[in-house]
Amino acid sequence: MKSFDFVVLGGGSAGCVLANRLSANPNHSVCLIEAGSKDKSVLISTPAFFAFMGDKSKFNWAFLTEPQKAFAKEKTLEHEVAVVDTTGQTHKLKEEIEEHRKGYQPRGKTLGGSSSINAMAYVRGNKWDYDHWASLGNKGWSYEEVLPYFKKAEHNEMIDNEYHGQNGPLNVTNTPYKNKFIDYFIEAASKFYKINDDYNGKDQEGIGVYQTTQKNGKRCSAANAYLHPIKDRPNLTILTDTIIDRIIFDGNKATLVECLDKKNNSFQIGVKKEVVLSSGAFGSPQILMRSGIGPTEELKKHGIDTLFNIPGVGKNLQDHIDYVTVHMNKSIDLFGFSFKSIFIKYPLEIIKYFLTRKGLFTSNIAQGAGFIKSSPEKEIPDLQLHFVIGPVKDHGREFMFGNGLSCHVCLLRPKSVGEVTLNSSDPKDSPKIDPNYLSAREDVDLLIEGYKKMMEIMNTEPLKAHTMNNLRPVDLSSDEKIEEAIREEADTVYHPVGTCKMGSDDMSVVNQELKVHALANVRVADASIMPTLIGGNTNAPTIMIGEKASDMIAREWA
């Protein structure tokens, strides 16, 4: 059995940072464990190809939520029944039943985690979010205190000011592909909202273009930024295709991590100093619960002995609920599956991309950005827009012939809170995910208002001329019809957080140093520690958490 000073559980956005920073000290041995495979694929490195990493991709966990009670019911053929006919013969038939719609939760299953399959938008959230964390008692997490870690991580090619870094591993730039439809979106939106060229700077509010985590026309995932340049360090071991079962304790001290290799063989890794969980808002609470750390009543259901009753493990799940409007358009400057695109546009663009790393396939597709207020009285933006140069229906899982464009609107700080629990104690089993979307009436009302504001832009020139073919036109004068559409189609925009929340109250899991309460040498460092959801995409904040956690750990063991 091999032992390491630090064992990092999860090779996603924060895990890659931790592996890099902790192994920078040659006196420390580090083991990074990732359940997914290596990230060597053109589907990952080519920015626009993330659209093809759907629920059948080996790089995507493609989880489903529990049926969401606030979502509309839909028909399903999943239920099989046995029917006996008049001759006594038994036949198996699929019975059509109705149940509430399930949400879709894509998560990265490879080195780099979700930063290897996401749309690469570089968004930090709002200054208010981090000051709010600090106001909850989390000393060291105010905006002024986390800004240095954002800057430490970042190398921004386009913006050089007091809010941005220039020498970090994570390359941030403007997508090199220019698209006229993004210009139409900005011109239309600018009739209602100001233009903002740096939504990560002094002021978040406004309309613009997303900066992305790319470098030289290729994706710059957390693995590209932090892991690949240092993967040959002699004090760093990287295990892929390795499922983490549980942490084993001696008293309150973690001593071993039990894993399964790709052949399903069990093996153990020794822990000399610390275990750091970086398996995300779904994975980290699962590992804790399988290890006997969590709510006693939940562990008992699955025959797991409780070592430490920490009731907040898996609770406090928060996510951005989102609605997408889809409009078909014949222009081959937009993504989609049409004869002209498939046989004329794409072949030329593929050649251009692989020869020059320029053109359509450098696009992150969701290029247009918006951080807006639902009403002027709001202190900060509470709605976010993603304008997409392609038709996106049901997360791209529903095939549509033709080209088109879409726009998302999401609630930045929803009131609805859910939980992640276990389906079983089997480490290969999927988590039981219940975001409890739209359970708070305020979320429904705000999303109705957000839909109206989004459509106000979509129905304004010069964009209006290109959005006439709306796949789901809704009467904007009827809140009831808008709510009906929301309940039938709204879903995540992929930002689950909060299930191992930081704090000192009874439902918190880690303290401000990210140490799990009652445990001697276990920390959590990923999006699950966020006490509240931040106002924007969560990849950059998760990398910041990895940077800050690495700094705290390095100081303690210097």
Please list the active-site residues. Answer: 495
Nearest to 308 by CA among 317, 299, 318, 320: 299
Using the Cα atoms of residue 9, residue 11, residue 12 and residue 16 in order, give the sign of their dihedral.
positive
User: 171 in helix, strand or coil?
Assistant: strand
DSSP of 229-270: GGTT-TTEEEE-S-EEEEEEEETTEEEEEEEE-TT--EEEEE
384-404 burial: b if 16+ Cβ within 10 Å, else e:
bbbbbbbbbbebbeeebeebb
User: 348 burial class (0-12, 13-18, 19+ CB within 10 angstroms)?
Assistant: exposed
Mention every residue, 6+ apart, whose C-beta is less than 8 A from residue 193.
205, 206, 207, 370, 372
**Are 173 and 363 spatial neighbours (Cβ–Cβ below 8 Å)?**
no
Q: Supply 403's token pair.
A: 């080209």
DSSP of 434-458: E--TT-SHHHHHHHHHHHHHHHHHH
What distances in angstroms separate CA 521 from CA 7, 253, 309, 509, 557, one per listed residue? Answer: 11, 6, 17, 14, 12
457: left (phi over 0), alpha (psi -120 to 50) or beta: alpha
Tell me the angle at which helices 143-153 and 539-556 cross, rounded to the nearest 10 degrees. Answer: 100
DSSP bridge partners of 402:
337
**Are 308 and 252 spatial neighbours (Cβ–Cβ below 8 Å)?**
yes
Q: Supply 483's token pair.
A: 């709510």
